[in-house]
Amino acid sequence: MSIYQQLGVEPIINACGTVTRLGGAPMPAEVLDAFAQAAAESVPLEHLQAAASRRIVDVTGTEAGLVTCGAAGALTLGAAAILTGHNLARIEKLPCCEGFPNEFIIAREQRSGYDHSVRAAGATLVEVGFNEIVSNAGVRRTEVWEYEAAITPHTAGIVYVHANDSCPQLQDVVALAHAHGLPVLVDAAGELPPRSNLKDIPATGADLVCFSGGKAIRGPQATGILCGRRRLVSAAAMQMLDMDDHLELWDPPEELIDRSQFKGIPRHGFGRSLKVSKEEVVALLTALDLFASGVYDRQLTEYRRLLDKVADSLSGAKASCRMLEPLTPDRWPVLEIFIDAAALGKSAMDVCRALRGGSPPVYVGHAGLSEGRLQINPICLHDAAVSGLIKRLLEEMS
């Protein structure tokens, strides 16, 4: 009986990918081993985070880095760092921002549920641009001048959500922000692979960049990375780390926390509720090394073989398949299954629901249901799971 079954929870076949709702990415054996080794000894967390910073600097080309509680935690800490800097009074006050600038400008089309992560620190969002293309009312997307027109003395920074086709380009937003002395906080949580993005996104000059550790990096699900300017990463670290020490004894690693910036030792900061364990830090760093070195590429042929097997098995079903090819060579393809609703007598939504409700439950990608598409992402699959997946697909689609 699996450890989940002992708890009365049925393990699923995950054809949906590294999504948070379904438990994130599968951790490689090296990562699990690193987690177990890290649990066997104690270390001061600020020294461990300084070591993490050195590794993150190597792979991102930034000045400093911090292992955070998910990319969402990185966004919250990044916003907190921008709001307070090293100002002890402000650090103590968060998330109340009375008396200092707390507005972050964001393109309306980049807003999502992850806004909470930025607002949680005390920021308020000021929207610019429209969503004219979606509302079928125009042809243009957000433009740089719109950010500039929204800057006031209350502006603390700009939030930017990175995607392949984000508009305007990040480097143009960074140039505008820097011309006004403002920092840019980038949500790049799901932008890996390509692994080149580890360096390319910070290379735009963005002040802070957030990556998820529990998606394609395959670290612990609740880890993330905040990297960028040393001064800001330092302010973020100060607000996350436990501060229960005497000023006379406090000796933080200089490369991560610039003690000279502080007139006293702050108490636990706003980010204390976003703590990360030593095991998670070590496991994430191990996964980051694997990801950045390209070791995961060796699995790409296997992923394609698994998807081909699914597609071949559906040749007689009331559906057609298409392989969605990856945009970069270090990404994997995704198989799209188009349901012939008229022939089958049920919609893609019906099939998706039935798959979830079966035994074992099967979860497929659900982003294209309204267009009659199921998606099969191979990253959490293996041969046994694929056999179960094929059996259930055939039962629902023949």
Ligand X SMILES: *Cc1c(COP(=O)(O)O)cnc(C)c1O
* Footprint on this chain of ligand X (rule: CB under 6 A): 20, 70-72, 114, 161, 187, 189-190, 212, 214, 224
Nearer to ligand X, 190 or 205 (CB): 190
- State the minimum distance, in angstroms, from the CB of residue 172 to ligand X: 20
Q: Are 241 and 66 in contact (CB under 8 A)?
A: no
- State the minimum distance, in angstroms, from the CB of residue 264 to ligand X: 32
Which residues lie below 8 Å from residue 387, measured CB to CB, with a gap of 6+?
A: none
Which residues lie below 8 Å from residue 23, measured CB to CB, with a gap of 6+?
A: 14, 221
Measured in degrees and rounded to the nearest 5, phi and psi for residue 81 equal -65, -40
Nearer to ligand X, 214 or 378 (CB): 214
Give strand pairing partners of 336.
Answer: 322, 375
- State the minimum distance, in angstroms, from the CB of residue 22 to ligand X: 12
> Taking CB positions, which residue lies at the least distance from ligand X?
70
Instruction: State how far Cα 19 lies from the chain centre.
Output: 10
Nearer to ligand X, 100 or 114 (CB): 114
CA nearest neighbour of 189 among 169, 167, 168, 159: 159
- State the minimum distance, in angstroms, from the CB of residue 222 to ligand X: 8
- State the minimum distance, in angstroms, from the CB of residue 78 to ligand X: 12
Nearer to ligand X, 280 or 396 (CB): 280
Nearer to ligand X, 161 or 352 (CB): 161
Nearer to ligand X, 161 or 176 (CB): 161
Instruction: State yes or no: cis peptide before 153, omega within 30 of 0.
Output: no
- State the minimum distance, in angstroms, from the CB of residue 126 to ligand X: 19
